[in-house]
């Protein structure tokens, strides 16, 4: 679905939906506590990168960087699998394009398989902060400072999967910097906070006309980062699977506007092969400050030593 406008700013609609958030909260707490009774403990360190918002904060590029840094496998659910993504999901496809070993599907089953290997490298879990059936050795939350906590309400009145207080379960927080900072975005002072910067590489120069389209959680983040001249935008629901008609309509729109088509890598991998010849994506590189890797290496070393002593 498309991210509702009221997720970022409180409105009559979000206030009207607030009572439903209470039911969501109670239901999610019941599920969380029940799953914890069947918690799986991994032999290898598990580093979970998650968020407390319903998608769109820019977590996958961070997972990609960390997995490549440690040459570590990634375990993920593989949301919205399709033929175009090799039936593994768009985020998994993005990671595998960089040579990262991605295990998609039931996370607990994949962890069992990975723990049978002799390797002691960490396992990166993409998402799963709310999944208490797997014990995370290190949990890192990711935020975009332009979004912050959104309107501060839980689903469906706002974007939060959990109350803001859930940040205290995290071992560290990564904040993606933005020119615009959410005014109500305040983080705890007793949890390490590290910063990251998004660097974009546009396939067209800044004088080129482009029609930009995206099916991601917060498409305006993408539209506002484009360095070329944007003459038209089209926003689709997150993880949207484009039809042949959608693509042909976009191509026709670009031709009428005398422009090039541009999208995100996450959208591009969901396109059929013939459309990939017509459409380019804007590369997004997220650079995390070096102190985060220093901190994470020390944490992993400590966890490994601790697990070794338990044997």
Domain 200-286 has CATH 3.40.50: yes
CB–CB of 63/49 below 8 Å? yes
Report, as an integer, the average pLDDT of 233-256: 95
How far apart (Å, rounded) are the C-alpha atoms in residues 111 and 105?
11
What secondary structure letter does DSSP report for 5? Answer: G
CA distance 51 to 41: 21
Among 191, 203, 161, CA closest to 59 = 161
Say whether pLDDT at 103 is over 70: yes
Flag whether pLDDT at 192 surpasses 60.
Answer: yes
CATH value of 5-198+288-310 in 2.60.40, 3.40.50, 3.40.1800, 1.10.357: 3.40.50
Q: Is the pLDDT of residue 104 over 60?
A: yes
For CA atoms 240, 242, 245, 250, the dihedral sign is positive
Judge whether 219 and 233 are in contact, CB under 8 Å.
yes
Average pLDDT over residues 187-214: 95
Same fold, 5-198+288-310 and 200-286: yes
CA dihedral 124, 125, 129, 131 (to 10 degrees): -140
For residues 133-155, give the mean pLDDT: 96
Name the pLDDT band for 214 (thresholds 50, 70, 90): very high
Q: What is the pLDDT of residue 69?
A: 97
In this predicted structure, what is the pLDDT of residue 248? 97
With 70 as the cut, is the pLDDT of residue 154 above it?
yes
Q: Is 251 helix (H, G, I), strand (E, B) or coil?
A: helix
Q: Read off the tokens for 63.
A: 């997972």
* pLDDT tens digits, 41-90: 999 999 999 999 997 789 999 999 999 999 999 999 876 666 665 656 88
Q: Where are the domains of the chain?
A: 5-198+288-310, 200-286
The pTM assigned to this predicted structure is 0.92
């Amino acid at each position: 679905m498309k991210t509702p406008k009221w997720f970022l700013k409180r409105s009559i609609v979000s206030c009207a939906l607030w009572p439903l958030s209470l039911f969501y909260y109670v239901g999610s707490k019941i599920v969380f506590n029940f799953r914890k009774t069947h918690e799986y403990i991994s032999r290898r360190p598990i580093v979970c990168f998650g968020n407390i918002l319903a998608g769109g904060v820019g977590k996958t590029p961070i997972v990609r960087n960390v997995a490549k840094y440690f040459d570590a496998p990634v375990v993920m659910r593989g949301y919205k699998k399709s033929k175009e993504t090799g039936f593994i999901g768009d985020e998994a496809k993005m990671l595998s394009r960089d040579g990262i070993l991605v295990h998609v599907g039931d996370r607990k089953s994949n962890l069992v398989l990975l723990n049978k290997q002799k390797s002691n490298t960490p396992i990166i879990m993409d998402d799963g902060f709310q999944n208490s059936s797997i014990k995370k050795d290190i949990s890192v939350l990711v935020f975009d400072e332009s979004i912050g906590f959104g309107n501060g309400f839980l689903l469906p009145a706002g974007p939060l999967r959990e109350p803001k207080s859930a940040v205290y379960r995290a071992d560290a927080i990564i904040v993606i910097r933005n020119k615009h900072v959410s005014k109500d975005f305040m983080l705890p002072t007793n949890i390490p906070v590290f910063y990251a910067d998004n660097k974009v590489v546009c396939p067209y120069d800044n004088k080129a006309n482009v029609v930009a389209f995206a099916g991601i959680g917060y498409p305006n983040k993408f539209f506002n980062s484009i360095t070329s001249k944007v003459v038209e935008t089209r926003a689709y629901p997150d993880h949207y699977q484009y039809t042949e008609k959608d693509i042909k309509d976009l191509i026709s729109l670009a031709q009428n506007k005398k422009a090039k088509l541009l999208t995100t890598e996450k959208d591009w991998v969901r396109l059929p092969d013939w459309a990939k010849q017509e459409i380019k994506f804007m590369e997004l590189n997220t650079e995390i400050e070096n102190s985060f890797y220093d901190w994470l290496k020390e944490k992993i070393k400590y966890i490994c030593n601790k697990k070794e002593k338990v044997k």
